[in-house]
Structures are given as structure tokens and as C-alpha cells.
Structure 1
Amino acid sequence: METTENLTIEEQEEQLDKESLKGTLFSSIVFVGGGIVAFILLLVIVYMVRL
């Protein structure tokens, strides 16, 4: 009988894919979201300096 700790190769690959997708989502949110926020802040700062 198989225990829960003995994972097949397919199950191990699936688990690694899930972890990889989580890392990709996190980095996308941080870098893309951070870039958008930084650009908006830059526009606001430039606008306020010109007033």
C-alpha cells in the first residue's frame, strides 16, 4: 500500500507546478503593480511641481 508521503512523479511535478505558479503570480503582482503605482506617483509629483 502507498502512504501519503510517497508521491508519484506526476504528483511531484503537479506540486512543483502549483508552487511555480504561486511564485509567478506573486512576482507579477509585485513588479507590475509596483510599476503602475510608481508611474502614477511620478505623474502626481510632476503635476504638483508644475502648479
Structure 2
Amino acid sequence: METSKDMVPREVQEQEKNDDKSLKGTLFSSIVFVGGGIIFFMVLLFVIYMIRV
């Protein structure tokens, strides 16, 4: 049985909006911290290599 948007309780709509914000925040932090960690490690290895050469 399908319900229209008018029949969905307001709390459910607010929860869906909060879930979207939470997922976007999680994606952003994952990209920043994981991607930043990988890039930092690569730069660190490069710097160590250049110092030794």
C-alpha cells in the first residue's frame, strides 16, 4: 500500500532529512581523513626518499 507525501508523518520526513545530512557528513569525513591519510603517507615516503638520495 502506497502513501502520499501528505500522509507521511512529519517526524519521518525530518528523520529522512537528518539521515541525508548524516550520510553526506560521513562521506565528506571519510574522503578527507582516508584520502588525506593516503596522500600524507605518499608525501612522507617521497620526502624520505628524496632525503636519502
TM-score range, shorter chain: 0.7 to 0.9
Task: Give the unaligned 5+ runs of structure 1.
Answer: 1-6
Tell me, in whole angstroms, the C-alpha distance in 1 between the residues paired with 2:25 and 2:17. Answer: 13
Q: CA RMSD in A?
A: 1.0
Question: Which structure shows the bigger proportion of residues in helix conformation?
Answer: 2
1:27 aligns with 2:52: no
Distance, in Å, in 2 between the alignment partners of 1:49 and 1:8 is: 61
- Write the distance in 2 (CA, Å) between the matches of 1:16 and 1:42: 38
How many correspondences in the alignment? 45
Q: Provide the rounded CA distance (Å) in 2 between the counterparts of 1:9 and 1:23.
A: 21
Percent of aligned pairs with the same amino acid: 56
The runs of at least 4 aligned residues of structure 1 exceeding 2 Å deviation read none
- TM-score, structure 1 as length reference: 0.83
Structure 2, unaligned runs of 5 or more:
1-8
What residue in structure 2 maps to residue 44 of structure 1?
46
Question: What's 2:10 paired with?
Answer: 8
Q: Distance in 2 between the 1:33 and 1:46 partners?
A: 20
